[in-house]
Amino acid sequence: VAGTAATYYGFSDAERRRQLDTKVLGLRRAFRVCSCLGGVAVQYKMLLRRRDSLEPSEYQAQQVETHKRCASKVLEMCRANGGIFTKMGQHGATLKPAMPEEYVEALSSLQDRAPVRALGEIERTLRAELQLGADGSLIGGRSPFLEFDLSPLGCASLAQVHRAVLHDGTVVAVKVQHADIRAILDSDLVIARWLDWLASIAFSEQDFSLAWAVDEFESNVLLELDFEREARNAIRCRALFARHPSLSDLVVVPAVYQSLSSGRLLVMDFAEGIPVTQICRAARGEFSEALAQHTQAEARELGFQVARCLADIFAAMVFTYGFVHCDPHPGNILIQLPSEGAHRTGAGPKVVLLDHGLYRELPDDVRVANCGFWMAMALQSEQGVQSHCAS
């Protein structure tokens, strides 16, 4: 059987080989997920069986250790599989009130350090989207790029970003969708639904189900795979904040080059900045190189400024524009620090918003009712709260 399969593979054309590779990869990913989550389920089942025989403090200590072991296993599986599993891990890391702290801490590393794809895969996608031919050069000639750095700046669940330079000297960021990601996601969704079915049986007493999460991920990922849609979202967001009376100088949305972009390729201005998590750590006294010159008091004040700015940005999206960025995890937010002289004159940091693939539009009636609801809450008007909830 193995010999027949190898012979069939050897005589297949390149397209057929890629299809076979995707199917084999799907089986490997399914096995990896089953192995990981099966082990996790066994550990939690064993812990639940010991609960009645343990003191509350001892049970809590064992629960924390179980969370740590299982979170490490889940992180390893998400890294190895990528695709929708990286996306699920990123989402899990944002559910701080609902997820155990051990999971949030482990999965947060997926927010800006997803596995990097093979160089040949990225080159094939670029040549196809730029119509350069199978052997076309990525720089010079018919290519729009004078320079192209093949080492990615960052890698996410669906794409990775590279630095490039256009022929006029403009530095740009190039977002390249992972090859065969659509086929991989199809198999991942099948795996996820099957696992939800198994988990609902194994934990039927706890009424456990992840069906809602799988449905939500499926609809969201299909939107995020459309880079032309992302380009339109970014252009609209940039235009909205460009005319905002108080935030126009504080929000940076990189300009998109639509003529160079496609459904799987997005070219935009290169935006400098440091991860927002570095601001949070500096406020706690953990300074990165970029913030080494700041005092503890300055770092704390910088943190307050960034927090206020982010609150104002998303308040404008929710209450004023009804056009809301729905993937604002730390990997999608950079901070541009004021220059050495500027911050002493009162100039504040700027917020760079990245990854505009997932937005929600709020109808005007919902947006206005939401505004009224929060005003009623602030004014402690029970009648107002009831009225706006009803509307």
Which residues are known catalytic residues?
327
Helix axes 181-202, 14-50, angle to 10 degrees: 20
365 contacts: CB under 8 Å, gap ≥ 6: 391
Q: Do 159 and 142 meet the contact criterion of CB atoms below 8 Å apart? A: no
Q: Do 142 and 71 meet the contact criterion of CB atoms below 8 Å apart? A: no
Q: Please spell the DSSP secondary structure of 136-187, one letter per residue.
A: --SSSTTSSEEEE--S-SEE-SSEEEEEEEETTS-EEEEEEEPTTHHHHHHH
Neighbours of 71 (CB within 10 A): 22
Measure CA 18 to chain center: 27
Instruction: Measure the CA–CA gap between 111 and 93, rounded to whole angstroms.
Output: 8
**CA within 13 Å, CB half, 214:** 16
